[in-house]
Amino acid sequence: MSSLIIRDANQKDVNVLLKLLKLLFSIEKDFKFDITRQSHGLNMMLDGCGKHRCVKVADINGLVVGMATAQTLISTAEGGISVVVEDMAVSLDWQGRGVGKRLLENITQWAQNRNAVRLSLLTDKDNTAALDFYDHIGWSKTSLICLHKKSHT
């Protein structure tokens, strides 16, 4: 797939990224697609210098077919920078063709350029296709579980 490039997203990509997020959230039980919220979140991710966060897209001949986001944080457990990967989504027509793997390779390089010692991500526990994919490309399960709480009620 020589025409596939992974690049930084820009404002022109937002509408396609929203469609990818809608696809992703349709299979994740914990999230509901809300175009206003997701637009705001994407714009926050795209704003700034890109040192601590990024939005990557898979582009095939000008067509965005996948995305992934990443953000840095400081891990006391690791004693260094950690990167959290989110919003990993590939259009149905392009799944199984190496797009997701290339996106995560690019995100990994982005993390390494920031001297990150670990990358982590969350996926729906019932999404066996995603779990198999991550296992196949070298991601490991942990004993940790994710909990969350809204900061406002």
> What is the set of domains in the chain, with CATH numbers?
4-136 (3.40.630.30)
Question: What's the rounded Cα separation, in Å, for the pair 109 and 104?
Answer: 8
Question: What's the rounded Cα separation, in Å, for the pair 123 and 31?
Answer: 11
What pLDDT score does 30 carry? 86
What pLDDT score does 83 carry? 98
Q: What is the pLDDT tens value at each position of the chain, 153 positions in all?
A: 569 999 999 999 999 999 999 999 998 888 899 999 999 999 999 997 789 999 999 999 999 999 999 999 999 999 999 999 999 999 999 999 999 999 999 999 999 999 999 999 999 899 999 999 999 999 999 999 989 898 886
Q: What burial class does residue 27 get, using C-beta atoms within 10 Å of its C-beta: 0-12 exposed, 13-18 middle, 19+ buried?
A: middle
What pLDDT score does 63 carry? 97
The predicted model scores a pTM of: 0.93
What pLDDT score does 153 carry? 66
What pLDDT score does 1 carry? 57
